Amino acid sequence: MKTVKSFAKMKQNKEKIVMMTAYDYPSAVLCEEAVIDMILVGDSLGMVVLGYDTTIPVTVEDMIHHTKAVRRGAARTFIVTDMPYMSYHGSLDRTLENARRIMQESGASAVKLEGGSSVADTVFRLTKAGVPVCGHLGLTPQSVGVEGGYKVHGKLKGEAEELLADAIALQEAGAFAIVLECVPRQLAQIASETLSIPVIGIGAGAEADGQVLVFHDTVGYGNHHVPKFVKTYGNASAVISEALKSYRDEVKNGQFPGIEQSFTMNEEEIPSLYGGKQQ
Ligand SMILES: Nc1nc(=O)c2c([nH]1)NC[C@@H]1CN(c3ccc(C(=O)N[C@@H](CCC(=O)O)C(=O)O)cc3)CN21
Ligand SMILES: CC(C)C(=O)C(=O)O
Ligand SMILES: [Mg+2]
């Protein structure tokens, strides 16, 4: 199993880190088979699996439920689980308890939380308690209500400098990696060169130390809006849709089930037709 040390070494050796989200048993099995370096059980599951408009409604319970399934499917892969909306902003006790549950009950290897300097102290306390923490800067979807939408972050010098300061604060607080979402590629390059910990980009260009994408976006599954930074490598929806239509047609026209999908008993065991008294 890879560890936080493996990811630090990969950065040193300039080997790209491949992260992919997964939310259930079969997707986790496929990720492990594909030798994905690190699985993210993202709170994006609220959008792509549960059908919410944002990640705001996702709960700690949801994250644990899905991480358990992912862990069963990927026993040997490093799993990062998102701490959901407001689960790390109350008292330190409550934050630690939520992280404890995610680690102990679901088998996550680490947690991820959104924000910079404002959560640096939280990152420090979690790390000191023995919880590996991944940061998340740039577009932070849990702040969609405050921001008023999803947009590219750090396009102006002031914003870019603030983001770099936040990244350094997270690194100093003990984060083992940082996800950088929806920022200009030049800023991601500077962040990757400045930080000693890996920077994993999503919509952040090719210079980051690694990449992460949402499973459903990557394989083409679902009818949700796909952000501009996504490259879709398959058409899972079309494959599934074809299968469902064929199934429907074959039931309607009697082709399914065939003799191969049926069980047969010996002639002499077949009862005479029901209807009258059978004695
Ligand atoms: N399916 C899915 N993929 C994701 O990458 C993803 C989620 N869901 N949910 C959680 C967050 C939210 N993310 C998002 C959502 C929307 C945009 C978006 O609409 N971006 C605009 C660009 C905006 C601009 O140009 O300023 C786009 O057109 O892609 C970006 C990231 C990324 N994450
Ligand atoms: C988009 C990634 C980085 C994420 O946080 C998620 O999938 O929830
Ligand atoms: Mg997330």
Reply yes or no on whether 267 is catalytic.
Answer: no
Q: Which atom of ligand 2 is nearest to the CA of 141?
A: 5
Coil vs helix vs strand at 199: strand
Residue 150 confidence (pLDDT): 97
Q: How far is the CA of 141 from the centre of ligand 3 (A)?
A: 7
Coil vs helix vs strand at 38: strand
Distance of alpha carbon 166 from alpha carbon 145, whole angstroms:
21
Could you give the ipTM of this predicted complex? 0.94
Residue 77 confidence (pLDDT): 98
Q: What is the pLDDT of residues 188-235, one digit of tens each?
A: 999 999 999 999 999 999 999 999 999 999 999 998 889 999 999 999
Distance of alpha carbon 104 from alpha carbon 84, whole angstroms:
16
Residue 274 confidence (pLDDT): 77
Residue 264 confidence (pLDDT): 97
Q: Is 207 annotated as a binding residue?
A: no
Query: Mean pLDDT lowest for which of 52-61, 90-99, 110-119, 269-278?
Result: 269-278
Q: How far is the CA of 174 from the centre of ligand 2 (A)?
A: 20
Domains and CATH numbers, the chain: 4-239 (3.20.20.60)
Q: Which helix (H) or strand (E) holds 194?
A: helix 185-194
Q: What is the pLDDT of residues 104-113, one digit of tens each?
A: 999 999 999 9
Q: Which atom of ligand 1 is nearest to the CA of 213?
A: 5
